[in-house]
Amino acid sequence: MTAERGRRATTKQTEFGPTGRQRLVRKTRNSTCAAQSDTPGALGLGRLIRDVPDFPKPGILFRDITPLLQDPAGLSLAVEFLTQPYRDQHIDVVVGAESRGFIFATAVARNLSAGFVPIRKPGKLPAEKRSLTYDLEYGTDTMEIHADAVRPGQRVLMVDDLLATGGTMRACCELVEQIAGNIVGVAFLIELAGLKGREKLTKWDVYSVLRY
């Protein structure tokens, strides 16, 4: 999500994170810009990212990935671009957060011949688990992982569709480290650079395919 075209303002915005819960964030919004990328060939994916004005509320431009998911070549390329930096990194487990993270993390895990581990909303995992509650601008949220999901020292890649403010991914990374996973990298399909989510993830190596 970014600002409406040609405007710059400070506003409260609803962000939909991997938990599926609404989170209000305050941010400075810049005018709409084209996608950027350091990955050769990746900019073509930008044509499959649909801009939806005034969603989920007036003044917000939503980056919709469903046209990319519907396109066989686009989906294949997106997964490949997320996979490429880690092919020689000996990844043991790919972790994805509910729910959009599941889409890409499972596909990347298959490409890397690695396992997949879900991080879920409270009450969704049946066995012994670890939980982490983290602060939002207005309120808190909680994520959970099975206590035996990652063995100590396993090399872990974190994958999600979107890096916005970075709070949810930071919580997910801290959960993995609670159970002694070794996070090799954190990969996103889309990064909203203006929200400075990387600043919450400076402990880990962050990669994004497309930046807005």
**Annotation marks residue 100 as catalytic:** yes
Q: Which are the contacts of 115, defined by CB distance < 8 A and separation ≥ 6?
A: 92, 93, 94, 109
What is the rounded CA–CA span in Å between residue 53 and residue 1?
Answer: 9
Q: Which entry of 29, 63, 100, 170 is annotated as an active-site residue? A: 100
Q: Which entry of 7, 87, 137, 199 is annotated as an active-site residue? A: 137
Centre a 10 Å sphere on the Cβ of residue 204 and count the other Cβ atoms it contains. 15
Per the DSSP assignment, residues forming a β-bridge with 107 are: none
User: Would you call the peptide bond into 31 cis, given omega within 30 degrees of 0 as the criterion?
Assistant: no
Q: Which residues are tagged catalytic?
A: 100, 137
